[in-house]
Structure 1
Amino acid sequence: MLFNSLEFFIFLPIVFTLYWLIGNKRIKQQNLLIAVSSYVFYGWWDWRFLFLILFSSLLDYTIGLKLKSEEKPSKRKALLWVSICVNLGFLGFFKYYNFFVDSLIESFTFFGSELSINTLNIILPVGISFYTFQTLSYTIDVYNRKLEPTKDFLAFMAFVSFFPQLVAGPIERATNLLPQFHVKREFVYKNAVDGLRQALWGLFKKVVIADNCATYANM
């Protein structure tokens, strides 16, 4: 689902309205709506990759809790490296597997040898870099004791998959965004108007300026 698509223009007002109809006293229900809406938003492109973002969320949520209870430095460091290796492993596989295979084959061919390795028809998951580094920021901050690990998996899911910045960034540090899912949010009309103004201005720059410039830049 693209931000400048008809689907998003229908999706956003529905989510916005439901979010505030729930009421600011029911934080868990609001977080549930954010998480479900974000998964719908992401799954609109390809539902199969929902399992990837869910796995990443489960992994770092669990590691965060274990980092809190574990005091032995060597075990804490091992937990951190599990998070780093698994997350970057997925990212590297989807983004660079075919590139490295092709480069390896070309290198062997250059020296007169043949290497038979098949490339894969890999689809790059949209936004994988953003949510990978966002979950890693959480694990690293918990490891460095800059952030208390959350025990609310729903809030953590909402943090990882938050649709306004899931596929286009920016990457948010857990210390900045995650605590906002634990506190009551008040509807402020002035802020809503300002947010709408900024969203429309951003849409104008994307559709009118950037997309038209891209036509010439890609020539």
Structure 2
Amino acid sequence: MLDYNPLACLPSSEELPDSDDTPVDNELQDLIPGLLKAILAIAWADRMDWFFGADMGVYYDPNLPAIVPDGFLSLGVERFFDENLRRSYAIWEEEQVPILVLEVVSQTYRGEYTTKKDEYAKLGVLYYLVYHPTRRRKSRLEVYKLVNNEYQLLSGNPVWLPEVGLGIGSEQGIYQGITREWLFWYNEQERRLRTPEERVQILAQRLRELGVDPDALM
């Protein structure tokens, strides 16, 4: 009897294009998901069942171009794929649809509130986040949850995401020496998780209180 595995006929993530040679047109589209990923790398350091991708192709059909969100989170997947890490994210290979997708609006709309929103709903992404850095009259961060195949806007700041086990929201902070509004993860008590820079500063202060020069340890 022929043992046929249809997944074996699909291209792997290593065979799929990992770049469309289109640079991001807003530095925040790189920094904002980068900060979220850096915080998770510390908060979930002992977990090996998650992956956060930034500006990476998400393939859902081998015959169609990838969707490239500014950031996305998947649970129930290997944190480290191998020593070369992931080049792209193929859903048929990972067997998990991202649970959360983030889009950061640039100077011009790219369908964040229309076509992309519809695409992610069809894909089954549970949480869809849109962050508009220069918005004034409406909330800059909008968090949607997929309910009955349609996205419903959630209220609050931060917004608790029970399936993720974290909340997400926006507030003023410092990252890479830049003071502005950033997106952060929060615990269930709505306490913001510290950034890597903040953790280093706290450790340095504690060492000074013990009479130890932190620079001497470098």
More strand by share: 2
- Which gives a bigger RCO, structure 1 or 2 (Cα 8 Å, sep 6+)? 1
TM-score (norm 1): 0.23
**The structure with more radius of gyration:** 1
- Normalised to the residue count of structure 2, the TM-score between the two structures is 0.23
Q: Which has the higher helix share?
A: 1
